[in-house]
Amino acid sequence: MKTGKLHLTRRNALLGMSGSLIAAPALVSSALADNHGSTDYTNKTLTISPFSLAISEMATMKASNPLVRQFAELEREEQAAVSMVIESTGATPPPRPTALEDIYKKLEAASGDDFDRLYISTEITGHEDLLAVQTPEAGKKPVNVDVATATILVAFIHTHLAMLAEIRKQIG
């Protein structure tokens, strides 16, 4: 089993996380002041984010590769924070779509290297989908919690996609 290393992408992830720690207080303050309930943006984000959180929680227990487990731990923490910030505005997650529920069940049934590959593949697809939701919202004016969240997430998603590509390469 390859465990590999993520020197450059790990460094980028740490830089990205440190940036989020600087921005987090302002984002939470903005979220608390921006009580607006569900929007198309929040519905789409709260479809993907809690799903990624759920499968990442599963991966922290089931992943056989240490890199996969490490990514899952980082992803779990980030998605918990994203959901908390968005839900603090009054938005509520929509029900999980059938297609995502089917993937969840496939992940539950998988094990070992098969689980690792399916989890990483699912995370790549999810991050690409999430990027498509965040990009149009990022950088808009005036800045509200949706715009601030999207702007921060775009950088994270790019970093995560680089990490995921490297992990995929290493696990085959």
The rounded distance, in Å, linking the Cα atoms of 140 and 147 is: 6
Q: Where are the domains of the chain?
A: 40-171
The rounded distance, in Å, linking the Cα atoms of 29 and 104 is: 33
Cis ω for the linkage preceding 136 (within 30 of 0):
no
Output Rg (C-alpha) for the chain, integer angstroms: 16
pLDDT at 5: 53
pLDDT at 4: 53
Q: What phi and psi values does residue 97 have, to the nearest 5 degrees?
A: -65, 155
pLDDT at 145: 87
pLDDT at 26: 47
Give the single-character DSSP code of 8.
H
**Fold designation for 40-171:** Ferritin (1.20.1260)
The 3-state secondary structure of 100-140 reads: HHHHHHHHHHCCHHHHHHHHHHHHHHHHHHHHHHHCCCCCC
pLDDT per position in the chain (172 positions), as tens?
Answer: 455 555 444 444 444 444 444 444 444 444 444 556 688 999 999 999 999 999 999 999 999 999 999 999 999 999 999 999 899 888 999 999 999 999 999 999 999 999 999 999 999 999 999 999 999 999 999 998 899 999 999 999 999 999 999 999 999 8
Any idea what the Cα angle at residue 164 is, between residues 138 and 130, rounded to 5°?
A: 30
